[in-house]
Every structure is written in structure tokens, then in C-alpha cells.
A and B are shown apart, each in its own frame.
Chain A
Amino acid sequence: MTADLKSPAGIMNAPADSLVSGPSFETRMEKISDHEMLLNMGPQHPSTHGVLRVVLKVNGEVVLGAVPDVGYLHRGVEKLAENRNYQQFIILTDRDDYLCAMMNNWGYCLAVERLMKVEVPQRAEYIRVIVGELNRIASHLVFIGTFGIDMGAFTPFLYAFGREREIVLDLYEKLCGARITYNYVRIGGVSHDLAEGWIDQAKKFVAHMKGCLKEYDDLLSYNPIFMDRTKGVGVLTREKALSYGVAGPNLRASGVASDLRKLDPYGIYSKFEFDIPTGERGDCFDRYMVRRNEIEQSCRILEQALENVPSGDILGKVAKFNLRPPAGESYSQVEGARGWLGYYIVSDGGVAPYRLHVRAPSFINLAVLQEILKGWKVADVVAILGSIDIVLGEVDR
């Protein structure tokens, strides 16, 4: 009961039920001083992006301390992997980060391929890049839409989420029949070949998408109120970002040009020409702009990839059933829409992984929240949380 909310360590040392269960929550209310209160944000709250719970200690509108509480969506995905064979687990990776499921498929398959030393056909590599970048665009579109809603602007959501992302999902539907959970990237390749005319439609979408960015800029990015709410808010310094292991757009917004597609080009990323957008201050606005600019760069990659898709097989020579990789371990990292998405697999030579671990970027990015929330207003909590862009399916796994 005496845990100090000010320090994360204090929370860790507090009795397990002191923050979670009802009565002791009430008791804690009495412990804090008269002009402060605990505000329980989530797990049912319009803008915690799922079932995240953040306990805020506030003085009026000012946040004095924040403790994120995760685990409401825990399904034990990593444990489930130990009871499934290697192909069966792909379908579970879809459910981790459901906003860019292709990346999850890809990251996991990459790890298994490294373990088994499988060659992936060139056509499959190109298709992977295409679907991966499309998925990055779709994921960032959701970010732009929901971040707008967090700021109280409803219309950008309908544009980004309801119009552009819908086209991407339709493209996926034509490709593999699914719109959210694709199960498309397979060990050694991909599951379906490109449908007839699909490439032309994708090209049309890329051309359309580049035009839409101007629309978002007019509506949201350079709106004075939006800039006022995001510039200088929730600054994540370069040092802090690096020390917390933050990755992806959040790290790039803090001024570190780190992108696995350049640092450690997996697949065929070394063939493409693109820039790494970075921010300067590491505030909410930079995190927004980095993602907005990444859509542009993804369009560039897509243009190059869609031009040069070679013909050939889409699946390498891999056993369809009872895949038995040699004993050993492998780790793969891909640059997901939210950061470095890593899969670590330990194999004992059996049909199922002995142990599997997911380096979920959302989870690691979320850890920085309790530090950068302090001192901001309740309204900024929503802005900062939104700008970190978490997916609870991935945080809780």
C-alpha cells in the first residue's frame, strides 16, 4: 500500500493487487494528497487504442505520474508456438500486430528460413516487398486516421482509414482472400501468385496514394491547431529513445536514421532506392511527420518493385508437412511499421519450435510512455499515446 507512484520501481515493488483490484484501488485514492487524484484511463476508453490501461496521477489537468498496465489481451502466443508445427504458427503471427500482419508473417518466415537455410525465389522476394510496403502504408494510414481522432479531428480518419486503406485491403483480398489476417507469406515464399491485372491496380493505387498525402497535409498536418497540439509535446530525446530500445518511426523521429531496410537489408531491399525520413525534436509532430513521409518512401519502393517483378516460382523447395529444421537457433529482424520486429526461434530438431520469442516493437516503445507523460496535460496523454502508435495485440501477445 505504501508504494510510491512517482517511480516505476515503486510500482514494481507494490503488492500485485494494489493497482489492479477494486478495493485497494479505492484505498490508494486516500493515500494521495487532497489536490491530486488517480485517473484510471482504460482499459475501456475511446483512445487507448485497444485494451491498454494507464493509471494517471493528476493534479487537475496536469499529469504527475503514469503507469501503463498491459496484459488485457494476452493470449500466450509465444507459448502456443511450442505446440504447433512451423507452418501452423504463421497464422498466429497475423494476430500479433493485426494492422501489419504481412510483416509478422514475413519476419517469422524469415527466421525459419534462416534456420533451415532455404532459398526464396526472386519472384516471391519481390512479392514480399510489395505486400510488405503496401501493409506499411495501410498501417501508417490507420495511424494518421486515429491520431487525427485523438486530436478531435474526425474527418482524416474517414479519408485515410475509410478510403485509401480500403483499397489496400481490397488488393489483399484479390491476392489471398483475406483482408486483415493474411497468412500469406509462407516459409520459402508466398502462398498465392499475383492475380491477373493485380500489378496494374497496385500501380494505380500508388499513384493515387501520392496525391492523397497532399489532402492529408491540407486537412491535418499543417492545421495550426494540430501543430499547436503536437509541436514540442511529448519530447522523446535521442538518448532516452536509444536507452529504452525504442525503434522504428519513433526512434527516427528522435533523429536517429535507423532503418533495418538500410542497416541490415533483408530480402531484396538492397536493390531499392529510398530515403529514411527522420525528425529533429522527437515530439508528437515529428513522429507524425516521419510516418507521413514513410508513406511517400514506401510508394517509391513500390514503384520500383512493381516495375521489375520477375517471373518464376513463388515457393521454394520446402516440405509441406512436418517441417523439421536442424537443431539450433535463429533470429530474424524486419523493419515493421512500428519498429524492429524480431523473431527468435530455438529448435531442438522437432516438428515444433522448442522456444519462440517475439521482439514486439509496440511493447518496447510503450515502455517509454511513463517517462514522457509526466508534466503534460490529460489531453496530451492522448496525443502522446497516439503518436507512439501501439497495437495492443502486439503489446500483449
Chain B
Amino acid sequence: MAKGPWSILGAAVPSQEPEAIQRRYRNSFLALAAIFGPLAVIVIGIQLKYGDISLVYQKVFESLTALGLKKGLPIWVPAAVALLIPCVLIATLFHAAPLVLVWWEQKIAAHVQIRMGPMRVGRFHGILQTVADGIKLLLKEDIVPAGADKWVHLLAPVVVVVPAYVAYAPLTFGRGLVGTDLDTGTLFVMAVSGLSTIGLLMAGWGSNNKYSALGGLRAAAQVVSYEIPRVISLLPVVMWAGTLSLSGIAQAQEGLWAGFLPRWFIFYPFVGQVAYLIFLICTVAETNRVPFDIAEAESELVSGFNTEYSGMKFALFFMAEYAYVFLGAAVGTALFFGGGAAPWRFLNFIPSYVWFFGKTCAQVFFIILFRWTYPRMRVDRLMEFCWKFLLPWSLVNVAVAGALILWRMR
């Protein structure tokens, strides 16, 4: 207790008895172990006994379908269910990811800033804080400012969120775990996630607020600019793998380089690292987060494009931001970190989706960490950085990648 700068003024009086705190932590740890221990055993057991979860799902689904058809089930029912199940799973993930990420961000921020963060709701380290916040936002009054363009104001959050939903469709969450395995997956994700800009612009315009308008314009300029180096930074991966499909690219990265290094594109000499760096920077910029959060820019534009939003509409913007953070990290995992593949063969007993989420969360951690360590860039310097630095280097990267690939093909 009596450590750190506060101890200058003598030992602090703890609010709770140390034994009570320790007991509480022990109980929490035991509860977590009771939940996650059996879960891990089941997950690894299934993986070892039956193979990938997608194969298990397929087997179960086929046998159930055969049984149903024998009993006289209409043929369209299994087809509909086959469509519905991935949709429901992706929608659940889409809603669950922000809940977890917001809590996680609060905790990371707190620990960076020598605080505790949420500690009360849900008994264990405020684990239910985001749920409580979500309920609060749901119950809040929905305020439409006087003079606002009502329909534009209403539709803006929808236009922001829907592309985020759609962009999750071709993501490969592990071996065989994919909503719809598009051949143009990479292109699709990039194109659809760019659509959200329209929503930000609508929010800025529809609010009848000068700060919102400035924020919306900033967002549009920024996202459109950063889209270009972001897409170009992905070209080397596509050239190397020879496919645009996310699962195809993940498959191309299976194996080892030089006998010990995982065959992930991030380890491709020079090109891989430069491409990933540009991609990571652009992802942070695309999601409007510090140091590129000029569209929200709390200290300048109050809250930018979402200044005039409250309640669930605001929550939708919030959700979209975290959904995009997760999406960006997931695309990074698929393209640069071998998707759901284990780095080495002996680690294959851990299921591919665990690898996928692990790698994704590691990137999300860095994206969150940026926010709590960097100041914000200025709008014109931001554009300069994009057009004069990132874009030329991403083009150079493509040229070098092309030369390397040609040279290796000979």
C-alpha cells in the first residue's frame, strides 16, 4: 500500500481489509477458472477428437438434414437454416465485440493512466460495465436538434452501422468458419467499409451544427484519403498469394519460412513489414481514433460529427467504431498473420478460431494503446502524411513486392 508517489504523505488507509480484498480476488479467480477451465477442456477435446469445428458443424448439420428430409421436411428449410446460422453468429459477434472491446479499452486506459477503471458493476473488475452503459444509452431520450434535417439525422447512424455489418460477411474466423467465402473478399471488405463515410457526412450535415459539419467534412476527407494507401498496402499480399479471397490468402500462409519462421506475410522480407505498418496506420485513421481522430476531436470540435446524437443513435456510432477496429484487426490477421493457422504444427491442438481471436485481439490492443499515448494530429498535417508519405511508400512497396515476386518466380 505504501508504495509509489502517494506514499510521500504517509501510508494510505486502505478502504478494505487486505484479507477481504485477497479473498475476493481468490474467489474471482476460482470463478473464472471454473468457467474457462472446462470450456478449454471441451474446446481442445473437440479439436483433438473430431478435428475442426467447421467439420463437426457440417457433419451434424448433414445428419440432421438427412433425418429431417426422411421425416418429410420441405427442402427449403435446411437451406434457410444453413443461411441463418452464420448470419446469427456474425450478428452476435458484431454486437458482442464492441461490448468486450469497450470494457477492455476502459481497463487499458485506466492502467496506462494509473487508475483502476470500472471496478463495481458485475463484481469482477467492472466486467458488466459496458452492458450497464448500453442499457443506459438505450433508455436515454432521443434528441433531434431544432432545424436538423430529420431523415438525414435519423439515417446517418444506420448508414454507418450497416456497412460494418456487411463487411463481416467474408471474414474468415478460422479454418472453414466463414459467412460467405467471397472470391473478392479483400476488395469487398475494403469497399464496403468505405461506405460508412457517407454516414459520417450525413451526420455532419443533418445535425444543423457547425461543429458537426466540420467534423463530417474532416471525416470524409480523411477516410477517403486513407482508403487509398490502405488498399495499396494490401496489394503485395494479394500479388503474392494470387487470390483476393480472405480464406485463400490465409491458406497461402500455411507452412514455414526457412524451416522455423511461420509463413506469414508479415515476415516477408521488407515488403511485409512496410505493408503491415501502412495498413495499421491507415486502419487507425479509418476508424477515426487517436492520433487520427480529427473527425471527433473532442478538444476542438466538441464531439465532431456525433455532437448532436444521443441515446441509441450515439450508441450506433460508438458500436460502429469498435466494430471497425475489430474488423481492421481481423483483416490484418487474415492477410498478415496467417488467419487462424497456428504458427507451428505442434500447436495445432488449439482450435483455429482461438488463434484467430488471439491474433486479432493482440492488434486491437495496440490500436487501443495508441489512443492513450499519442496526441492528435492536425488536419492538414494528417492529409500531408497520407498523400506525401504513406501513398508514395505504399506504391514503392508494391513495386518492390512485384520485383521480388518476379525474381522468385524465375
Interface of A toward B, CB cutoff 8 Å: 37, 39-40, 45-47, 60-61, 148-155, 158-159, 162-164, 166-167, 170-171, 174, 201, 204-205, 208, 212, 219-220, 223, 225-226, 228-229, 377-382
A61–B379 CB distance below 8 A: yes
A228–B377 CB distance below 8 A: yes
Contact with B379, one of A162, A379, A382 (Cβ below 8 angstroms): A379
When C-beta atoms are compared, the residue in chain A nearest to B301 turns out to be A378
Which of chain B's residues have a CB closer than 8 A to the CB of A47?
299-300
A-B contact pairs, 21 of them (CB 8 A): A47-B299, A149-B299, A152-B298, A153-B374, A153-B376, A158-B113, A158-B114, A163-B114, A164-B5, A171-B9, A212-B5, A225-B375, A226-B375, A228-B377, A229-B375, A229-B376, A229-B378, A229-B381, A378-B214, A381-B300, A382-B299
Among B109, B112, B214, B378, residue most surrounded by chain A Cβ atoms (within 10 Å): B378
Interface of B toward A, CB cutoff 8 Å: 5-6, 8-10, 109, 112-115, 210-211, 214, 217, 290-291, 293-294, 297-302, 372-381
- Say yes or no: A46-B298 contact (C-beta < 8 A), given A61-B380, A158-B113: yes
B376–A159 CB distance below 8 A: no
Apart from A151-B299, A225-B377, 4 more pairs, CB < 8 Å: A45-B302, A220-B375, A225-B374, A229-B375
B8–A152 CB distance below 8 A: no
- Say yes or no: A208-B374 contact (C-beta < 8 A), given A61-B214, A155-B112, A379-B294: no
B8–A208 CB distance below 8 A: yes
Which of chain A's residues have a CB closer than 8 A to the CB of B298?
46, 152
A219–B113 CB distance below 8 A: no
A-B contact count (CB 8 A): 103
A163–B5 CB distance below 8 A: yes
- Say yes or no: A377-B9 contact (C-beta < 8 A), given A150-B299, A151-B375, A152-B375: no
Q: Complex formed: what's the CA distance from A379 to B8 in Å?
A: 39
Q: Complex formed: what's the CA distance from A164 to B9 in Å?
A: 12
When C-beta atoms are compared, the residue in chain B nearest to A146 turns out to be B299
Q: Complex formed: what's the CA distance from A226 to B374 in Å?
A: 8
Among B109, B372, B373, B380, residue most surrounded by chain A Cβ atoms (within 10 Å): B373
CB distance from B281 to the nearest CB of A (A): 12
CB distance from B375 to the nearest CB of A (A): 4
Among B6, B293, B297, B300, residue most surrounded by chain A Cβ atoms (within 10 Å): B300
CB distance from B397 to the nearest CB of A (A): 22
Q: Complex formed: what's the CA distance from A9 to B373 in Å?
A: 43
- Say yes or no: A223-B375 contact (C-beta < 8 A), given A47-B299, A152-B290, A201-B9: yes
Which of chain B's residues have a CB closer than 8 A to the CB of A159?
113-114
Which of chain A's residues have a CB closer than 8 A to the CB of B381?
228-229
CB distance from A243 to the nearest CB of B (A): 29
Q: Complex formed: what's the CA distance from A128 to B377 in Å?
A: 42
Q: Complex formed: what's the CA distance from A382 to B298 in Å?
A: 11
Which of chain A's residues have a CB closer than 8 A to the CB of B115?
158, 162
Q: Complex formed: what's the CA distance from A47 to B300 in Å?
A: 7
Which of chain A's residues have a CB closer than 8 A to the CB of B109?
154
Which of chain A's residues have a CB closer than 8 A to the CB of B297?
152, 379
Contact with B8, one of A61, A153, A204 (Cβ below 8 angstroms): A204
Contact with A208, one of B5, B290, B302 (Cβ below 8 angstroms): B5
CB distance from B57 to the nearest CB of A (A): 44
When C-beta atoms are compared, the residue in chain A nearest to B217 turns out to be A60
A225–B5 CB distance below 8 A: no
Among B6, B10, B113, residue most surrounded by chain A Cβ atoms (within 10 Å): B113
CB distance from A150 to the nearest CB of B (A): 5
B302–A46 CB distance below 8 A: yes
When C-beta atoms are compared, the residue in chain A nearest to B211 turns out to be A39
Which of chain B's residues have a CB closer than 8 A to the CB of A381?
300
